Chains A and B, each alone.
Chain A
Amino acid sequence: MTTTTEPFDALLEWLDPDREKAGQRYEVIRAGLIRIFVSKGLSDAEHYTDEAIDRVIKKLPEIRAGYIGDPARYFHGVARNLVLESGRRREVATDVLPQRVVPEPPRSDTSDCLSKCLQLLPRDKQELILDYHLYQGRAKVLHHQQMASELSISEGALRTRAHHLRVNLEKCVNECVGYQGKNKSAVESHSN
């Protein structure tokens, strides 16, 4: 974040006079912006999100008095502009430079980390997350019905439960892969 405290306070106040509600609204806008940028094919969505928020903060003194409507709409307009700008930049860049190849982390790291992160879950949750991701198509639907019935919960509740587990597992794996990657780099730099 490149925001300084005072303008940021002004932004929060614009979002809601109640500081706590404003903070919540800010978090929702931030989360939404990240998803919009990724969905539009922009890598480093957090960078674009920070840029969008910075732009709104800079414009705020000008627009605040006359602005009518939900501030989220203004953020949306800024995000749209950023998506268009990045599209133009990519067009120019690919005329001049070969496309950058983003190196994939070795797959074995993900596999190792998944094993480690699964081990951190209680047995019943390990089973739930693996069971939930079995099968495809119609077989999957029936399997989820059966799982929900065994757990005495609705299919929607099962879906939510599985999603929360998956989010945490994915976060754990990403952190683990990042950590292993850093360690490998350190080993390589020591061996040189």
Chain B
Amino acid sequence: MGGVSTITKEQENEVRQYLFGQLQEADEESLELRLLTEPSFVEEFDTIVDEVTDQYVRNELSGDEGKGFETSYLSTTEGQQKLMFASELLDRAEASRGAAPVVAKPGFFDWVSGFWQNQLRLAATAAAVVIIAGGIFLISRSINSGPVHYAVVNLAISTANRAEGAVPARVKYESLQAGLQANLAIPEDERGGRDYRVKLVSGNGPEHFLAIASHNDQTVTVQIPISFLNRGSYALQMFRTAPDGTEQHIRGNYFFDIE
């Protein structure tokens, strides 16, 4: 296998229609026969599947296309795995180059609702030790000398999930002006990282990697723009870059609710 594109734009469209379940039976048959006989076509097919998956993650498909792709390809474990990979890859690309955040379909984030209820045994044992250290204080004040006002919240990591009793910090939506500044306590054994990244995860919306406002040995501070927030449940996930350049997800979440 290998080489440059071997199919025309029209054939590419046919593959796309096939993936959306929109191809006529006769065309479908001829496309499937090509899959069984032409190695270069299989490679083209795979490339188009990746491109369509990326478009799905970025919410670029029309309603019918997205639905067709969901009910066929993405309904399989193979498709779900591919979707998960594509979402991470696009996120990473955006984060590493500082481009606009990826917008994903809420449907894809179904896993998040499972995440809230997931009964992880290891986390259960840790549930007792969770919590929000240092007390949560919430004040509306200026973080800079300029006119931009962020509500401020201090959060500690929780290795349990919500179903197991992790107590989220609560923030009034009305207190948010420019957004929310979250001061995240770095767990003791995760300190000394060369760098940190923080991802905002919501139960019903897209994810965003956040700009790090500052970090010292004990705390990472992020500012979440108001455009990323609505009333609802959120978690922040932290990633630590070790001095050797490898990045690890720090186990646990920083939970908060916007009321």
Contact assessment for A160 and B60 in the assembled complex, using a CB-CB cutoff below 8 Å: no
Report if B228 contacts A (CB, 8 A).
no
**Which of B18, B60, B85, B99 gathers the greatest number of chain A CB atoms within 10 Å?**
B85
Report A65-106 CB contacts with B as 1/0, cut-off 8 Å. 000001011011001000000000000000000000111111
Q: List chain A residues, Cβ under 8 A from B2.
A: 160, 164
**B145-153, B210-218, B245-253: which lies at the A interface?**
B245-253
The answer to whether residues A111 and B239 also contact, given A31-B42, A116-B246 and a CB cut-off of 8 A, is yes
**In the complex the two chains form, is A133's CB within 8 Å of B93's CB?**
yes
A150-173: contact bitstring with B at CB < 8 Å (1 yes, 0 no)?
A: 000010110110011011011001
Scoring A111, A119, A173 by chain B CB atoms within 10 A of each residue's CB, the highest score goes to: A111
User: Do B92 and A118 have beta carbons less than 8 Å apart?
Assistant: yes
Assuming A70-B33, A133-B90, what are 13 further A-B pairs, CB within 8 angstroms?
A32-B36, A38-B73, A39-B19, A104-B114, A105-B84, A129-B89, A131-B93, A132-B93, A136-B58, A136-B60, A166-B50, A166-B89, A191-B125
User: What is the interface of chain A mostly: helix, strand, loop, or mixed?
Assistant: helix
Q: Which residues of B contact A43 (CB under 8 A)?
A: 75-78
Contact of B121 among A75, A105, A136, A188 (CB under 8 A): A188
**B99 contacts across to A, CB distance below 8 A:** 134-135
- Complex interface: chain A residues within 8 A of B85 (CB): 110, 114, 170, 173-174
Instruction: Give min CB distance, A19 to chain B, whole Å.
Output: 18
User: Given A156-B5, A160-B3, do A39 and B18 touch, yes or no (CB 8 Å)?
Assistant: yes
Q: Is B78 in contact with A45, judged by CB distance below 8 angstroms? A: yes
Q: Given B45, B71, B125, which contacts A41 in the complex, CB threshold below 8 Å?
A: B71
Chain A interface residue number, banded: 35 or more
A147: interface (CB < 8 Å): no
- Binary flags per residue of A42-59, CB closer than 8 Å to B gives 1, else 0: 111100000000000000
A41 to B241, CA, bound (A): 38
Interface presence of B130 (CB below 8 A): no
Which chain B residues border A102 with CB–CB below 8 Å? 77, 80
Q: Is A137 an interface residue (CB 8 A)?
A: yes
* Bound complex: CA A38 to CA B58 (Å): 22
Residues of chain A contacted by B37 (CB below 8 angstroms) = 28-29, 32, 70, 72
